Chain A
Amino acid sequence: MSFILSCPNCGPRAVDEYAYGGEVTERARTSGDERALFHYLYFRTNTGGDQREWWFHSSGCREWFQAERNTTRNEVLQVARPGELAPSREPAGG
């Protein structure tokens, strides 16, 4: 991987300046529903396509942000401060 990713604070930088924080997930808030808890803890969708994810600018401003990225083409569709990503575009042709 050597694509360019834009930090909302620092601008476009090589991806090796960042630490990947994984998919944006919804935290399970119960231990009652075992299935939901384990799904949140241990399963990732590993999307081949557009995905929302966390990034940490470890060699820069040391702030977290979110990005939407096409994982097969490594095309960065948008970046934003946490929780501020715009709604996803329509998936192109499924």
Chain B
Amino acid sequence: MAERRLAQRQGELIDRSQEVSFQWEGREVTGYAGDTIASALYAAGTRVFSRSFKYHRPRGLMCCSGQCPNCLVEVDGQPTVRACMTPVEQGMDVKHLNAWPSLQRDFLHLVGRLTPSFGMQVGFYYKTFIHPRRAWPLYEKILRNAAGLGKLDPEHRRTERFDKVHRHVDVLVIGGGEAGLEAAAEAAEQGRHVALVEEGLALGGQLAWGGPRSNGRLTALIERVNAAGVEILQPAYAGGVYEGLLVPVFQGRTMHRFRPAELVIATGSIEQPLVFGNNDLPGVMLASGARRLVNQFRLMPWEQAVVLTSSDEGLAAALDLADGGVNVLAVADSRRGADGSAIEDAGIEYLAGFQPWQAKGSKAVTGVVVTRDGEHRTLACDLLVMSGGSVGQTALVSQGGGGIRYDRDQRRYVPDSLPDGMRVVGAAAGSAAAAGAVPAQAPKTGCKQVVCFCEDVTTKDIALSLDEGFSSLELSKRYTTVTMGPCQGRMCHRNSGLVIADQLGLDPDSQRVGVTTSRPPHNPTSFSLLAARGYEPVKRTSTHHWHAEHGGKMLWAGDWKRPYDYGDGDSEVDAVHESLGLIDVSTLGKLIVRGPDAAAFLERLYPNRFGDMKLARVRYGIVCGDDGSIIDDGTVARLSEQEYYVTTTSSGAGGMEQWFTWWNAVWKMDCEIVNVTSTIAAFNLAGPNARTALSTLTDFDLSNEAFPYLGAGHAQIAGVPCLVLRIGFVGELGYELHLPAAAGEHLWEKLMEAGEPHAVKPFGLEPQRVLRLEKMHIIVGQDTNAESNPLEAGMPWIVKLDKESDWIGRYAIEWYKRRGNRLTLVGWEAQNGGVPIEGTQVVGADGQPAGRITSSRFSRRLGKAIGIAWLPVEQSEEGTAIRISDPKGSTIPATVTHKAFYDPDGERLRS
């Protein structure tokens, strides 16, 4: 290892006193603390890091700054990790992504070799694999296996927590290069709260990787930034810029949602590859990449380098590399009139006007052919450094609503109009000294010339797409997928435009080639971060832990967790029928409507009548939309002249609060609506022994005479002030107790104690569903849908069309009444013991669907399957025989009934 490193020098990131070992493809590799996975592997002799997306060509390090797809690896089971951006950690397990059986011998590479007869050119699978059509599933399987980056483990369960944080700062700076650091320091020195985001492992950008000369300046700048109190997030990256300058910044396991008052884009520029034959061979590297390895990691694994350039940046790079200890043999500059004297002074051969033609070698570079006016020269080398000039990173500017224009003098795209609050500084603003350069046109070499390294798109693919009529940049992009890979066009956007201009005979400097649209995410982003913890916490009732400790199978029910049952739903049903059961119904929505207009307000909101209600009574009501559809149901108790207590369905609580307050915002009546859902617990004690048990806890007169069915009253129960509603959703004598949630657990335990002599059982959601079905009580949203109106749902008695006031749903329901019912909601009981599944069809005489089953259960009490169905009116008479389809093939015969299956006259409720 040591022999592959250059002598220690200022500016290096590695700590040579500390070794770090990790696994690569099952072998142990040792690097230094401060190494990236890529630099440590390079030091250990690794040259092939991945196989390309389509052709499985071997790929090595190219940019060393996280921009290209070449070094994507799997780390500890996580796919698509960028090796050049990830610090080594002791014991990490690093593997290749997409080669089989190994990186060195990848059989899938053969696919690429078979071109052009069996080419994987762009669009090939639509054309090649379409016949015979029935074989597509087989083709697809093979192709899916060959393409793509990495594999997801479908069995993977989340083991770590990912989080979102909302951040508000005065200034957010994206990019920690020289310009970003300066902007941040300046703003912070004015007393503003500044955060700066840097993607790389070192601050300073080119100051950090450009060689030792700039180290002093960098140190001073970092000191200034720290003294000014700039908050630095590193390594972290901005995932995009959204409307209103919302910037998601991803750091480790946290997504920071930044909402800065000012956004400073300091994303710098990115050096571009050159297009020539075999330009993706391992050993072909961007100049900035090679400089990073030499200056920051002090790697020197090469014998001899050749620099290919079309800009002054390449000349500066050649000198820096030579200074860093690299043996630079020659610089081939595709420009003819440039000044190469500094190169020659350094003793390096300068080849003016020579363009790259083709790299030599199969798994690694062994040389390069350069050309001028038909003259070819071959140079032997094992490192090929290319510099196609750099391109300002303006993607975030345009995502944030800024305009981009092509500047002919600078030969690059620069920001034009900017949205309020956005500023662009440094190279991204086009202010860098080094202007972009138009590299020479791609030669016609006959070997692959890669334009898009992520998606394996070559010059030939682009030519083909143009030939086939995809005749512009945007169309060609969609067909070839150029710029659509992980690099999001950083490495290929400029070159694909140039190749297209060349093919179409356009002036490469003309705006007509255009730019493709930049969209978030700007960087590859893990789904775990996007799916980080939401803001809706689970809701638990005051007795949640009691249920869980007593065998309650806790399930999601809307935002809540509720017990499905306590292990034996059948016996829970039996307990309610025969003696006593207790259910936690705290999840019901609860609203107080209070004020001089409370009665009038409810009259206008419900089809029911509430103004005539006596005090201390409770009434069932349904809520309709203005289109007459049933949107919720529940009970309304009148507590005083001016105060009503309204319950809603459990899932409807939030929606009903909004619905009530909305209409009151429209009507501006003199009443207030208070949502007490979470502060009030509610339990329903039900069964023939309910009165006896409850009497032991209260002085309140529970006798049928004093407190009859549909009564409402305030009582002290076991010392707890309760609102008691005598209602019967489950069909037996029952008391629904509403009480302060803080006393919930206490009262629940007291009720269980009081019920002990009667063998009380707690019952869950599922037994409750059986019990309510026996009474043919509907569940809104299960037995009704967005088209169900109360006339057809069998509740015409609720709808008071003769109310003097206007009410919500009135006009639609009047219209429905004139039209007449088409469907009707009825009960059914099955004869042959079969239990239909919910949602299945009723089969008409002609074998066609003629209705739909909305609820279905087997009732042990009744010894048969019962349920609810929507039927056409003409088939809905009491006693009509229907057939219900059964997925097993046959049908289940059943009979229509209109009355409750259990206790149809409600004697038990009223007892």
Contact = CB atoms under 8 A, between A and B. Distances in A.
B811 interface: yes
B610 to A, nearest CB: 21
B371 interface: no
Interface in A1-48: 1-4, 14-15, 19, 21, 27-31, 34, 37, 40-42
A82 B657 contact: no
A62 B662 contact: no
Nearest to B247: A2
Interface stretch (B238-246, B263-271, B479-487, B834-842): B238-246
A58 B581 CA distance: 37
Given A56-B658, A64-B665, A82-B666, A14 B626 contact: no
Nearest to A74: B243
B243 to A, nearest CB: 5
A34 B815 CA distance: 8
Interface string B795-818: 000000000001000111011001
Contact of A1 (B243, B661, B811, B814): B243
Nearest to A56: B658
Contacts of A30: 811
A18 to B, nearest CB: 11
B658 A54 contact: no
A40 to B, nearest CB: 8
A83 interface: yes
Contacts of A37: 811-812, 815
A53 interface: no
B163 interface: no
A82 B663 CA distance: 11
Given A2-B244, A27-B626, A74-B243, A54 B812 contact: no
Nearest to B808: A27
B709 to A, nearest CB: 35
A14 B662 contact: no
A41 B627 contact: yes
Contacts of A21: 662
A14 B258 CA distance: 11
A41 B811 CA distance: 10
A37 B814 CA distance: 11
A62 B815 CA distance: 34
A19 B658 contact: yes
Contacts of B657: 62
Given A1-B243, A2-B244, A14-B259, A54 B811 contact: no
Contacts of A27: 626
A31 B815 contact: yes
A63 B668 CA distance: 13
A31 B665 contact: no
Contacts of A56: 658, 661-662
Interface string B647-678: 00000001001100110011010000001000
Given A3-B244, A4-B244, A63 B661 contact: yes
Interface centre among A4, A31, A34, A63 (most CB of B within 10 A): A31
Given A62-B657, A82-B668, A31 B662 contact: no
Given A37-B811, A82-B665, A82-B668, A58 B658 contact: yes
Contacts of A64: 661-662, 665
Given A3-B244, A64-B661, A82-B665, A31 B818 contact: yes
Counting contact residues on chain A (CB < 8 A from B), the size range is 20 to 34
Given A28-B811, A83-B668, A2 B626 contact: no
Nearest to A33: B811
Nearest to B816: A31
Contacts of B627: 41-42
Interface centre among B244, B658, B668, B810 (most CB of A within 10 A): B244
A71 to B, nearest CB: 13
A34 B811 CA distance: 10
A62 B95 CA distance: 52
Interface residues of B, number: 24
Contacts of B661: 56, 62-64
A29 B814 CA distance: 11
Interface in B614-631: 626-627
A34 B657 CA distance: 30
A31 B243 contact: no
Nearest to B675: A62
Given A4-B244, A19-B658, A56-B662, A31 B814 contact: yes
Contacts of B812: 31, 37, 41
Nearest to A65: B665
A83 B661 CA distance: 14
A29 B806 contact: yes
A31 B811 contact: yes
A74 to B, nearest CB: 6
Nearest to B245: A2
A24 to B, nearest CB: 10
A27 B626 CA distance: 9
B213 to A, nearest CB: 43
Contacts of B815: 31, 34, 37
Nearest to A24: B666
Contact of A2 (B242, B675, B811): B242
A91 to B, nearest CB: 23
Interface string B816-856: 00100000000000000000000000000000000000000
Interface in A54-83: 54, 56, 58-59, 62-65, 74, 82-83
Given A41-B626, A58-B658, A64-B662, A29 B811 contact: yes
Contacts of B243: 1-3, 74
Interface centre among A34, A54, A62, A74 (most CB of B within 10 A): A62
A16 to B, nearest CB: 9
Contacts of A62: 657, 661, 675
A15 B244 CA distance: 10
A62 B242 CA distance: 26
Contacts of B814: 31
A83 B667 CA distance: 10
A5 B425 CA distance: 29
A14 B244 contact: yes
Nearest to A14: B259
Interface centre among A15, A21, A64 (most CB of B within 10 A): A64
Given A37-B815, A41-B812, A82-B668, A54 B246 contact: no
Interface string B529-568: 0000001000000000000000000000000000000000
A82 B669 CA distance: 13
A34 B668 CA distance: 28
B157 to A, nearest CB: 28
Given A14-B244, A14-B246, A37-B811, A54 B626 contact: no
B345 to A, nearest CB: 55
Nearest to A27: B626
Contacts of A83: 666, 668
A80 B812 CA distance: 30
Given A31-B812, A37-B815, A41-B626, A2 B668 contact: no
Contacts of A4: 244
A29 B535 CA distance: 40
A2 B246 contact: yes
Given A31-B812, A59-B535, A64-B665, 15 more contacts: A14-B246, A14-B259, A21-B662, A29-B806, A31-B811, A34-B815, A41-B627, A41-B812, A42-B627, A54-B662, A63-B665, A64-B661, A64-B662, A82-B668, A83-B666
23 contacts: A1-B243, A2-B242, A2-B243, A2-B244, A3-B243, A3-B244, A14-B244, A14-B259, A27-B626, A29-B806, A31-B818, A37-B815, A40-B626, A41-B627, A42-B627, A54-B662, A56-B662, A58-B654, A62-B661, A62-B675, A64-B665, A74-B243, A82-B665
Interface of B: 242-244, 246, 259, 535, 626-627, 654, 657-658, 661-662, 665-666, 668, 675, 806, 810-812, 814-815, 818
Name the 7 nearest CB pairs between A and B, nearest first. Answer: A31-B814, A64-B665, A31-B811, A2-B246, A82-B665, A2-B242, A2-B243
